[in-house]
């Protein structure tokens, strides 16, 4: 017997493949990692397989995609044998998903309040008044300046930043164990990105949840996570504490890290992967 809790995620040999003209194409190629809790970042350039990894963890890879893993566990329980209703329960109760653009994630013809309450309607037996109270306090918790107005608004009536706050509220209200945020700020302008990432981090800590923060922007997410996984062409090439990024060994990690704007790079082109590959 051990008294240590199992990790939030324990993943080994995770592969997502698609049939292609030249044979099977592995867009996620045998990755292994542990999410111990707290805030973990998954970074890599566009197309490296980050979203497919998230979809595999949520049971959302659609045919003809095929998911395989030697281990796929959450809080010590096996996910790989789940049927569709098991995955639905997992998505509604244990893992929340926040995406880049609220205009795709929120239903345009339903008021925000009703969409925030959704997680309560499906999974909790509460009266209408209590659902409404909880939704309003959640809208307040995510920093809506006028929660009642947001509650009554339609998605198109909110700005991008407010839309992301509404989506966070809708995700948090079911009290999931793990929040997967896939490029949650990529559609926002720079100043708002910081604010929204800070909000996500603060809410996750406050509620004792785990965070998997997915982004192509390593310097930005590194400030908001304790540990970083770096993905390149379907593989994990690096796993290290955020505090050690400046000393990373892998050239790809170094390249992503150097993409941060600073006095030294001002006025000079930022490095690109092609430049890196020309060197190796």
Ligand X SMILES: Nc1ncnc2c1ncn2[C@@H]1O[C@H](COP(=O)(O)OP(=O)(O)O)[C@@H](O)[C@H]1O
Q: Which residues bind ligand X (CB under 6 A)?
A: 18, 27, 44, 46-52, 65
Helix (H, G, I), strand (E, B) or coil at 267: coil
Who's near 205: CB < 8 A, 6+ residues apart? 39
27 binds, among ligand X, Mg ion, none (CB under 5 to 8 A by kind): ligand X
Of 61 and 204, CB closest to ligand X: 61
Residue from 166, 150, 184 nearest 51 by CA: 184
Q: Tell me if residue 280 falls in helix, strand or coil.
A: coil
Nearest C-alpha neighbor of 260 from the set 204, 215, 199: 215
Nearer to ligand X, 134 or 235 (CB): 235
Measured in degrees and rounded to the nearest 5, phi and psi for residue 15 equal -130, 135
Q: Which is nearer to ligand X, 44 or 113 (CB)?
A: 44
Which of 20/47 has CB closer to Mg ion? 47
Q: Looking at beta carbons only, is 17 or 51 nearer to Mg ion?
A: 51
What does 18 interact with, of ligand X, Mg ion, none (CB < 5 to 8 A by kind)?
ligand X
Nearer residue to ligand X within complex by CB, 15 or 115: 15
Q: What's the closest the beta carbon of residue 268 comes to ligand X, in angstroms?
A: 26
Give the shortest CB-185-to-ligand X separation in angstroms. 15
Closest separation in Å from C-beta 16 to ligand X: 8
Give the CA diameter of the chain: 63
DSSP structure string for 170-237: HHHTT--SEEEEESTTTTS-HHHHHHHHHHHHHHHHHTT-EEEEEES-HHHHHTT-SEEEEEETTEEE
CB of 98 to ligand X, least distance (A): 14
Q: Is the peptide bond before 223 cis (omega within 30 degrees of 0)?
A: no
Positions touching Mg ion (CB under 5 A) are: 51
> Could you tell me the smallest distance in angstroms from the CB atom of residue 34 to ligand X?
20
Shortest distance in whole angstroms from residue 164 CB to ligand X: 18
Q: Which does 112 bind (CB under 5 to 8 A by kind): ligand X, Mg ion, none?
A: none
What are the tokens at 191? Answer: 């100043």
The option from Mg ion, ligand X, none interacting with 47 (CB < 5 to 8 A, set by class) reads ligand X
């Amino acid at each position: 017997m051990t008294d240590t809790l199992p990790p939030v995620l324990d993943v080994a040999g995770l592969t997502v493949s698609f049939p292609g003209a030249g044979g099977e194409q592995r867009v996620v190629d045998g990755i292994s990692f542990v999410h111990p809790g707290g805030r973990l970042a998954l970074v890599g350039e566009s197309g490296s397989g980050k979203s497919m990894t998230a979809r595999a963890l949520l049971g959302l890879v659609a045919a003809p995609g095929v998911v395989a893993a030697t281990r796929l566990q959450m809080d010590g329980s096996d996910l790989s044998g789940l049927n569709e209703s098991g995955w639905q329960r997992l998505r509604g109760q244990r893992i929340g998903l926040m995406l880049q653009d609220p205009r795709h994630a929120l239903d345009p013809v339903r008021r925000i309040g009703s969409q925030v309450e959704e997680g309560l309607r499906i999974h909790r037996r509460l009266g209408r008044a209590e659902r409404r109270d909880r939704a309003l306090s959640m809208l307040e918790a995510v920093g809506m300046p006028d929660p009642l107005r947001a509650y009554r608004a339609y998605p198109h009536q909110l700005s991008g930043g407010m839309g992301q706050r509404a989506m966070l509220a809708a995700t948090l209200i079911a009290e999931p164990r793990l929040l997967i945020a896939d490029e949650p700020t990529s559609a926002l302008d720079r100043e708002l990105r910081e604010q929204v990432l800070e909000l996500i981090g603060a809410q996750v800590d406050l509620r004792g949840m785990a965070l998997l923060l997915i982004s192509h922007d390593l310097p930005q997410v590194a400030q908001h996570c304790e540990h970083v996984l770096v993905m390149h062409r379907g593989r994990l090439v690096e796993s290290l504490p955020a505090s050690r990024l400046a000393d990373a060994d892998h050239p790809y990690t170094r390249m992503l890290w150097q993409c941060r704007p600073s006095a030294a790079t001002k006025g000079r082109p930022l490095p690109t992967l092609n430049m890196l590959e020309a060197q190796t």
